[in-house]
């Protein structure tokens, strides 16, 4: 794995991905943030050595390099999921590549189902902690040791400094930014009523199928990370309606304007 990461990094550096400061992962329906980046270089994943291929139809599958609010950034338009058939090593491969390129901070967005009945779809949640219910871990196996201590401490997985800045920005800009716990499940099927009750009972506010593997990999490499969920559907087991993926994407796009404001202001303050 380390040889594959090195090959991808060598390719990207030769193509002009020079000393990015911040890495960004854009989740489902959240690609418009890339419009705020002054793009200098971009490659579809299939053109980058050893990069997995994004198979989700609404993920663009591009790696972008450019300037964003005065910072050099590398951004993923489309991420990889375990449910696509990728190994956990492949899911977190881009995070390892971005860290090797030189990023000092990682910012993640995702779309998630809202189980906290005090919140509404279309709002945002700052992830303060998570529960990992995916069946594998990106630090399992001998190859993961090349990137740091595999017995990585996860007592504080999300960077408190970035989180505090995001909360202050949200307050200043009058943006509703909830705080809570994200639970990551395998997918791609959605949850039953009983499963939503169980997930809520164990302390989760939002459920999704991503983010946690990348956060674990970032923590192994001592890379500060912050993550925001867009609440795209209401997951009330006592009033549950069939999910329409197009409605989820539409909700994400509607909420994206607030996410863009938060990201722009955060970049100015990093």
Percent of the chain at pLDDT above 90?
A: 81
Q: What pLDDT, in 10s, does the model give residues 154-176?
A: 999 999 999 999 999 999 999 99
202-227 burial by CB neighbour count: b if 16+ within 10 A, else e?
A: eebbbbbbbbbbbbbbbbbbebbbbb
Residue pair 37/73 in contact by the 8 Å Cβ criterion: yes
Say if residue 29's pLDDT is above 80: no
Structural domain boundaries enclosing 173: 2-269
Question: What percent of the chain is predicted at pLDDT more than 70?
Answer: 96
Among 129, 124, 157, smallest CA distance to 261 is for 124
Q: pLDDT at residue 10 above 80?
A: yes
Is-contact 60 77, C-beta < 8 A?
Answer: yes
Q: Which strand (E) or helix (H) includes residue 29?
A: none
Q: Per the structure, how many domains does the chain have? A: 1
Q: What is the CATH number of the domain that holds 132?
A: 3.40.50.1580
């Amino acid at each position: 794995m380390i040889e594959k990461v090195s090959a991808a990094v060598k390719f990207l550096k030769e193509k002009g991905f020079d000393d990015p400061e911040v890495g960004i992962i854009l989740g489902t329906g959240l690609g418009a943030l890339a419009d705020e980046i002054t793009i200098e270089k971009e490659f579809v994943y299939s053109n980058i050595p050893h990069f997995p291929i994004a198979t989700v139809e609404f993920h663009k599958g591009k790696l972008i390099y450019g300037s964003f609010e005065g910072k050099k950034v590398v951004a993923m338009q489309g991420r990889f999921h375990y449910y696509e058939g990728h190994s956990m090593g492949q899911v977190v491969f881009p995070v390892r590549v971005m860290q090797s390129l030189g990023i000092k901070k990682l910012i993640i967005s995702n779309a998630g189902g809202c189980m906290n009945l005090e919140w509404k779809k279309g709002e945002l949640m700052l992830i303060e902690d998570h529960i990992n219910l995916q069946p594998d871990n990106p630090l399992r196996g001998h190859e993961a040791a090349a990137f740091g201590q595999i017995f990585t401490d996860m007592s504080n997985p999300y960077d408190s400094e970035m989180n505090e800045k995001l909360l202050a920005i949200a307050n200043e800009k009058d943006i509703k930014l909830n705080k809570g716990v994200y639970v990551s499940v395998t997918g791609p099927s959605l949850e039953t009523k009983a499963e939503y009750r169980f997930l809520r009972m164990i302390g989760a506010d939002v459920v999704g199928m991503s983010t946690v593997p990348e956060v674990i990999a970032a923590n192994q490499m001592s890379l500060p990370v912050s993550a925001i969920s867009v609440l795209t559907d209401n997951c009330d087991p006592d009033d549950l309606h069939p999910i329409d993926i197009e409605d989820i994407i539409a909700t994400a796009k509607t909420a994206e304007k607030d996410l863009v404001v938060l990201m722009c202001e955060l970049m100015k303050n990093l």
